[in-house]
Amino acid sequence: MAKTLFEAVNVEVRRGMGVVLSNHHVELNQGDIMVLEGPNGSGKSTLIEAVARLLPLEKGHISHAGTSVVDHEGRRKTSPINVTLVLQKNGLLGCERVQEHLNLAMKMTGSTVDTATFLEAFSLTHRANDNVSHLSQGQARKVAVLSALLPAFASSEPCLVLMDEPDAGLDDRSMNSLCEWISELHHLGHGLLISTHDERIKSLATVRHHLPDGTTDIVEKGDREPRTTSDRPSTPHAKITPGQFGWNMQWRTLAWLNQNAMAALLTLGILLSMGDLSDNLSEMQQLGFILAPALAAGLCGDAMVAMCREERAGSWWYCVSTGTPHSGMLPFVLGGAITLLSSLAFTDDLVAETAVIGALLTGIVAHLLRFAQQSTERLARPQAVFIGLLTPVLILPYALLLDLLTR
Amino acid sequence: MKMKVGEVLLLFGFTGVATTMMLAFLWAPSVSINAFEEPAAQRIFYWHVPSAWAAFIAFGALFVGSAGWMFKRSELMWRIHIAGSEAGLATGLMTVWSGCVWGAAEWGTPWDWSDVRLNTFGLLTLLAIYLVLGRSSQPDGVETRDTFAAFGLYGFILVPFTYVATRIWSIRHPGPVIGTNDGGSLNADMGLILLIGTLSFTLLIFGHMLTSMRITAFEQRIEALQIQLDGGK
């Protein structure tokens, strides 16, 4: 019997002030291609994003392979099955390379397949080592579509493939390849949920789900029995975590230098420009001066948060991985290094203990800021909120820390 | 045009506040020159304490509104959230500003980063600014309401902390005046003016919140009509 890959039970989803899905029930089995049909604004993208755990539910719950992954009380769990996704936005960072992103997407399933034939079919072979930011809109769309399809080809277990208008911007040749691959994944036993207005993709449907009324038609086809083996050899690979990815991107873009390190260096420079204060300061004031650059570095937050707003890359990561990319240990390393520098500048001495405190200060403050920034990611304009107004909450703990350390 | 309850309360509140200020400057007894560095500056206390009291009422309303929206999805509660944050911002600024003036005169510095009461109250005011400015930067919607209601709920932790801060950790800020049995340091005339001020600010803040809720209700009606004109549901 075919396994149910996802089930949305009596789901209600609101966007803005409107109810987009109300008391909605739908399920998808492995080996099914479910095409969502309906006019613009009928809730197709909303359903895909709800199934991808990207939207909160007002009522009901959504389960993946029998495990509830999101419910109306706000409980969320990581999906027990491999989920792949292409949103209307591409979910790519401009600083990622094409081949790198595809490998990354496949590694989420624990294995990879050779990408040469896929890149060739999409005329992307010559772009494999280019940054995504160098691609045309159509080429970037192809990379986004491949990052939803390739993990399913690499996975030995049934995958849930979520695609929101994958045909947007694709040429005829690419559309033919896309339809072949969708058909192949169906035969391999994966489940596909696709929102589209394209008749070629619609003709592949085994199930048609109509929105906004929520009715479902089963399309009779002769080849519904799923095949279980793939002729594409896969290679096992370790999964990459959001922290590892964030670390890599930070070093590639040097965003930490622009954001955190510059704030720390400027603070240090301003304090030093006041002259030699070491004789006139109490022990607590001196420690406050030494640690101030580390605090300033932390107060700038995590550059990955802003980076992940590009093309909804953070949403893509949240769906296919265990969380959104972050800078991981980088703020701790930066805090330690800047405190050593600051200690040297103020006291002509390198104190390891102070460097550890500086590392913890920058790391903890930067990650607290990240949590605060990420808490506004649901908003229509997350970049427009005034999260910096809340950062003075950290001044008093900083003063108390200095008091404690010099008591 | 007939006046609504909110506007009547605002009128009485403003009159009461003006009376309080007049009594504070012309009738209130002077404090001992031995107990204060700048005894004349102490008169700002008749503005500072009632406005802090009104701020706690406003932040209480913010908490109730935030919780009501989060758990009941009530439009009325969202209006209370908005009214609470706006009133909290107004009274928070009144309190912080008057405190800074007194601090500058009495302590020689308008702000002390190591004083718990000052910092927690300052943070409450920053939270109110964050909520008011943040909400105005976003289109209205369930996402906006959920996010800011969550901040309103978490921020309320600061309210009881601020209130008890001077009891458990008094550095510079004087201890509480309202809500204690220890009113011995105030003489009867001072207490009377403080009572008039507290009642006036209470009327003012309720009037402010009721008026704000009415304005929000009008905005929501306009928004609904615009959506109808756009052909939406």
What are the tens digits of pLDDT across the range A252-283? 999 999 999 999 999 999 998 887 766 777 88
Task: Tell if the CB–CB gap between B141 and A380 is shorter than 8 Å.
Answer: yes
Q: Are B62 and B40 in contact (CB under 8 A)?
A: no
pLDDT of residue B233: 53
Task: Tell if the CB–CB gap between A399 and B150 is shorter than 8 Å.
Answer: no
pLDDT of residue A303: 92
Q: A56 to chain B: which residues are within 8 Å by CB?
A: 146
**pLDDT tier, A233 (very low <50, low <70, confident <90, very high otherwise):** confident
Residue matched to tokens 């003709």:
A203
pLDDT of A214 strictly over 80: yes
| Element of type H or E holding A334 | helix A330-347
User: What average pLDDT does this structure show over A230-253?
Assistant: 88
* Best mutation target, B137, B148, B162, B223, to test chain A (most A CBs within 10 A): B137
pLDDT of B231 strictly over 70: no
pLDDT of A86 strictly over 90: yes
pLDDT of A126 strictly over 90: yes
User: What average pLDDT does this structure show over A347-370?
Assistant: 92
Measured distance CA(B103)–CA(A129) in Å, rounded: 63
**pLDDT tier, B63 (very low <50, low <70, confident <90, very high otherwise):** very high
pLDDT of residue B182: 54
pLDDT of residue B168: 61
Measured distance CA(B152)–CA(B77) in Å, rounded: 12
What are the tens digits of pLDDT across the range A88-111? 999 999 999 999 999 999 998 888
The DSSP annotation for A4-57 comes to: EEEEEEEEEEEETTEEEEEEEEEEEETT-EEEEE--TTSSHHHHHHHHTT-S--
A contact residues 359-398, partner B, Cβ 8 Å cutoff: 375-376, 378-381, 384-387, 389-390, 392-393, 395-396
Characterize A344-355 residue by residue with b for buried, 16 or more Cβ atoms within 10 angstroms of its Cβ, and e for exposed: eebeeeeeeebb
User: What average pLDDT does this structure show over B22-51?
Assistant: 80
pLDDT of residue B165: 67
Sequence letter at residue A319: C
The DSSP annotation for A161-209 comes to: EEEESTTTT--HHHHHHHHHHHHHHHHTT-EEEEE---HHHHTT-SEEE
pLDDT of B115 strictly over 80: no
Whole-structure pTM value: 0.82
CA distances from A83 to A12, A89, A237 (A): 22, 17, 17
pLDDT of residue A308: 93
Helix, strand, coil content of chain A in percent (nearest 5): 50, 15, 35
pLDDT of residue A281: 79
DSSP state of A257: I
Q: A390 to chain B: which residues are within 8 Å by CB?
A: 123, 126-127, 130
CA distances from B157 to A56, A397, B128, B202, B213 (A): 25, 16, 14, 22, 24
Residues 6+ apart with CB under 8 A from A375: B147, B150, B151
CA A8 from chain center: how many Å?
A: 22
pLDDT of A141 strictly over 60: yes
Q: B130 to chain A: which residues are within 8 Å by CB?
A: 385-387, 389-390
Mean pLDDT of chain A: 91
